[in-house]
A and B are shown apart, each in its own frame.
Chain A
């Protein structure tokens, strides 16, 4: 079985601050992990992925994420945050030969 947990439904911070969105996963084998962003009324956009290799992966829009096998996490980070980063962020897990499963999402609000 595979699952993804995003424990924070909402995160609010001020522009210029550092943001970190949490994601933990459960999977018996090596996972493929992803972050996607969804702006209001729009579809999902790919941000970054971890397949193998370096634990820190960089993606689009200035985001990066760190894969930590020790605590099964894949947190998304960005510094500094910008008001345009306000959106909903989804962490996703893909197992071997499986389609991605998504976490519940974290709604990020960045105040100017």
Chain B
């Protein structure tokens, strides 16, 4: 299994500012995924991040707004640029075992973001 840690657990920021969310895995993982979840709703896949390459973004999410870095096999950072109240949600990082055949997805505890 993979344990994922996120920092911060929650954050409150003003509109127009930027903030970073960090995700650390306790073992090396090939891909990290970032999801957005609005209150009581589904998880929306934002992007897939592989080490040493640019993240692949899903429709509705852009590199300019949500730049993602993946400098090594245990770490990823999601930045929310020019934050707006509509960005207020929970952000989860996710990954799976190095052994791809396990298919089981693991999730970090989430970062609850409130934009004022």
Contacts and interface: CB of A to CB of B under 8 A. Distances in A.
Interface of A: 32, 34, 36, 42-46, 49, 51, 88, 90, 92, 94, 99-105, 107
Given A43-B92, A99-B33, A99-B48, A104 B103 contact: no
A33 to B, nearest CB: 10
A49 B92 contact: no
A36, A100, A103: most-surrounded residue (chain B CB, <10 A): A100
A75 to B, nearest CB: 18
B41, B43, B94: most-surrounded residue (chain A CB, <10 A): B43
B53 interface: no
Interface of B: 31, 33, 35, 40-45, 48, 92, 94, 103-110
Q: Do most interface residues of chain A lie in helix, strand or loop, or is the interface mixed?
A: strand
Contacts of A32: 103
Nearest to A44: B107
Given A43-B109, A44-B92, A101 B103 contact: no
15 contacts: A34-B105, A43-B108, A49-B103, A94-B103, A99-B31, A99-B48, A99-B94, A101-B45, A102-B42, A102-B43, A102-B44, A102-B45, A103-B42, A105-B41, A105-B42
